[in-house]
Structures are given as C-alpha cells and as structure tokens.
Amino acid sequence: MKNRAIVWFRRDLRLADNPALRAAVDGDYDGIVPVFIHAPEELGHWAEGGAQRVWLHDSLTALDNDLNALGSRLVVRRGPSLEALQVLIEESGATAVFWNRLYDPLIVERDKQIKQTLNKRDDLHVESFQAHLLFEPWQISTQQGAPYKVFTPFWKRIKQEPRRAPLPRPAELPPVWSRIGTVDIAELDLLPRIRWDKGIRQRWEPGESGAQRRLEAFLDEPAEQYDEGRDRPAVPGTSYLSPHLHFGEISPHQVMHRSEEWLDEHAKPAPREHIESFQSEIGWREFAHHVLFHFPATPEEPLDQRFKDFPWVQDDEALAAWRDGQTGIPMVDAGMRELWATGYMHNRLRMTVASFLTKNLRIAWQHGERWFWDTLVDADLANNTLGWQWAAGCGADAAPFFRIFNPARQGQRFDAKGAYVRRWVPEIAELPDKHIHEPWAAPKRVLEEAGITLGETYPRPIVDLKVSRREALDAFEQIKNT
C-alpha cells in the first residue's frame, strides 16, 4: 500500500525549519502533497487585510517556485479548510496530514475541529507541530501557574529554556501527481484591482529567500548599532523581518540561531548588547502570542476592564485626518503616509501615532487597530493587539496612561534634522530644522520663505497637544478607581 502525506502550509511559507514538511520528508512516504488552502471566511473580520493579501500573493508565488526547484509544486485550494483537506485526501490517497500550529483564537478552534474530525479515520495519521514560536504559549507560566502579563519576567524565563536547532531544508521532494489539480494563485484575487500596491512591491521581497537576505543585510551592518539605530526612522536601523516572520518565511528559531552564530563570529562586547536587544524583539513577539492565547478576547476588548468605561470620543473627521496623514502634526503625518505608501511603519512611529490617536484625539484604540490591520504588511493579530493596547494603556505590560507621547518632541529627539519628515511630508520640507516638527510655532516670515500657508498648503494642527493631553488625563481620572 502506498503511503502518501499532505503537508498543509499556512503561515509557514518556507522549506527550511518546517517541522510539518520535515515529518513528511523523514517519514516513509512515497508522495508528498504541499497544499495551501485559502479560506478567509474562516477568520471573520480578521482575514488578511489589503496589504497582507499583496504580500501573500507574492509569498505563495515564491514558495511555489522554491518547491518547483526541488521537483514538487504547491497545490492551492479554496476553503472551507476541512472540506478541502477531505477532498485532497481522497484524490491523493493520503495516509497522513501534517501542519504547523497557529494561535489566533479562531484558528485554534478551527484546527481543533479539523483534527478531531480527521482523527476519526483509522486510515489517517494526523499530526501538528510547533514552528511559529520558540515555545508553545501554554509551556511558559509563572511560578503560580498563571500566564504572564509583564514582559521582563516572561523573557527572563524564556531565555532559561533550551531551544531546538533549526531543521534543515529538504534536498529534494517527490513530484506531485498531475491528476492533483490546483487553483492558480492569481485566481485568489489577492492583488488589488486598482493597483495601489506599487510602493509595497518596490520595497519588499516576499518569500523565504527574501527573508534570509533581509536577515543577513541586517547582520552585515545595522546590527552593530541596533540600540541607537532602531529608534531613528530616517535610517535603516532595524531588521524589517516582521512581515517575513508573520508569514513564516523565516522562523524565530532561525533568527535566534543565526544571530547567535553571528555573535560567535564577531566576538566583541558591543555587538552582543545590540544583538541581545534585537533578540528581545523576538521575545516581544512571543509575549504577544502568549497574551493572545491566554486572553483571546483582547483583539476586541481591553485586558484592563476599567477601559470599558473610558469616555472615548467619536470624531470621524479627526479619524479620517489621522488615517490620511493630514493632522497638521508632522511626525504623525509622516508615519501615516509611510504606512499607506509602503505597508510598513517604523516602530517609533507606531507608538507615536497610536498615542496621538488614543490620547490626544481620545479615539478608541480599536479604530487604529483595524486601520493597521488593513494597511500593514506585517499585521499580526497578536502583535497588533498587544501594541495598540500597550499604547492605549489598557493591555498587558502597558505603558501607563499618563505616558503620553508628544509627537513634536518625538520628532525633535529621533528625527532632529527632519530627514524622515521631509521625505514623507514634502510640503513642509523647506522649513529649517528648528521648526520642521512644529510648523505652527514658526514665525510668519519663516513660513513664507518655506512656501507654507498653514490651513492651505499644510493643515493647522487638528488638536492642541497640551490641552488634549490634559483632557486625556482628566478622562483617565474618571475610570482610574473603578
């Protein structure tokens, strides 16, 4: 009897360090069918946003090319996932189905039902694997057996745990039989019909090879100044690995292992400090998934229940100005325009624009969460939820509510020469450094010389930063002791 395995690819679009694929390769299987099932309806309103769909299209294309190079191909099917798997099992005569686990609440429930249904078959071996994180969310707990809500002790605990080494990439794969049909990736309609995605396609290289090149480019230079460079949006000081990690084109095990190898190759004290800071960002990703797994309502509801009664403001006009990068606050506008043009926003700006929305405008964090979900190529339910609740002061290890980022001060500190703002807000580019982050405070003569008429060529601020800060603190007082 033939033994054949289905490998269900999800957000693990890579061949190296893929435990599900490795189980099929190492097993005594005559054939392996790699499949991706497109089933956005199973994710509700947390299905991939517009920017993610662009990335997914290119990443699936890259995976198919990589599989072809090894003698195989990617089979693409439409959902529902269970029905698609059952049909493929019958078509292929598969005796095993393998996949790697994910931890978004709806996916956990779906996968549980799929596994229970498939396990009822005596002729089928069904197994899932840990690949998306360093450790399972349920493996790490406090001494009291509770989930962590604070990052520092969580990461300290993680670092004490032994990690496995990355798994090798297969040298070759058996061909997929011609009778196994596939949907063309283009038929999934992942790309926009009005092609607004040019900036995304120009900036990024989705796929496993692109992820590896991105990591090596980071280690070649930015890694040695990471602690300083990561806060300066005008310089390439970060790894830009987040979308590759989200789609599983590279694994956290690979990132940790390669960065430690790099440290051994560069045995100097300074790089070690920077690499450890970089690795802690992998820790934050772990922490985000840990919190989401244990508190699955947090994409919709604040972890700190007091914030259910927070007096949020409904202001559609201000929300639109924020989305469009037309708030009259240069650092905020620059971040929002970078997001729209490239599908990405520097982390310093993510904190800045989130603080501005939730505290200066007092618009509920869920509005920002949803906009990021649709516009970020690295939109990840766990990271997005943790980040927005952190900024709003209502989540795990959140910034205290009274920590309100002043976007002008953020610009003066981290974009002192205005290079970032001048790139994304060109209408004020002629302002001198002294006024680039506060054009409303510039003398009339300076504005005229720079060709700026506030309210016409560039908006006046839609909110007074000092007044709105005070109003936000007064609003917090209303719920602080509830």
Residues 334/341, Cβ–Cβ less than 8 Å: no
User: Would you call 119 a catalytic residue per the annotation?
Assistant: no
Active-site annotation holder among 65, 312, 430, 440: 312
What region, left, alpha or beta, does residue 126 occupy, with left being phi > 0 and alpha being psi -120 to 50 degrees?
A: beta
Place of tokens 């939730």: 358
Active-site annotation holder among 8, 204, 262, 284: 284
Q: Which of 388, 415, 391 is nearest to 403 (CA)?
A: 391
Q: Which of 393, 402, 400, 397 is nearest to 302 (CA)?
A: 393
Residues 244/16, Cβ–Cβ less than 8 Å: no
User: Would you call 347 a catalytic residue per the annotation?
Assistant: yes
The DSSP output letter for 348 is H
User: Would you call 365 a catalytic residue per the annotation?
Assistant: yes
Active-site annotation holder among 322, 373, 388, 390: 388
Q: Does an H or E element contain 100, and which? A: strand 96-100
Q: Which of 35, 16, 29 is nearest to 88 (CA)?
A: 35
Instruction: Tell me how far apart the alpha carbons of residues 391 and 357 are, in angstroms, rounded to a whole number.
Output: 9
Residues 342/199, Cβ–Cβ less than 8 Å: yes
Phi, psi values for residue 97, rounded to 5°:
-130, 125
User: Would you call 340 a catalytic residue per the annotation?
Assistant: no
The DSSP output letter for 458 is B
Q: Which of 75, 78, 59 is nearest to 14 (CA)?
A: 59
The DSSP output letter for 454 is B
Place of tokens 């300083």: 228
Active-site annotation holder among 208, 281, 286, 338: 281
Amino acid letter at 254?
Answer: Q
Phi, psi values for residue 146, rounded to 5°:
-100, 160
Instruction: Tell me how far apart the alpha carbons of residues 338 and 360 are, in angstroms, rounded to a whole number.
Output: 21
What region, left, alpha or beta, does residue 362 occupy, with left being phi > 0 and alpha being psi -120 to 50 degrees?
A: left
Active-site annotation holder among 91, 347, 427, 430: 347
The tokens describing 419, both together, are: 């290079």
Active-site annotation holder among 8, 262, 365, 390: 365
User: Would you call 312 a catalytic residue per the annotation?
Assistant: yes
**What's the distance, CA 143 to chain centroid?**
30
Q: What angle do CA 163, 254, 176 make, to 5 degrees?
A: 110
Considering only CA atoms, give the Rg of the chain.
24
CA dihedral for 355, 356, 358, 364, sign (positive or negative): negative
The tokens describing 112, both together, are: 């549980």
User: Would you call 284 a catalytic residue per the annotation?
Assistant: yes
Active-site annotation, residues: 281, 284, 312, 347, 365, 388
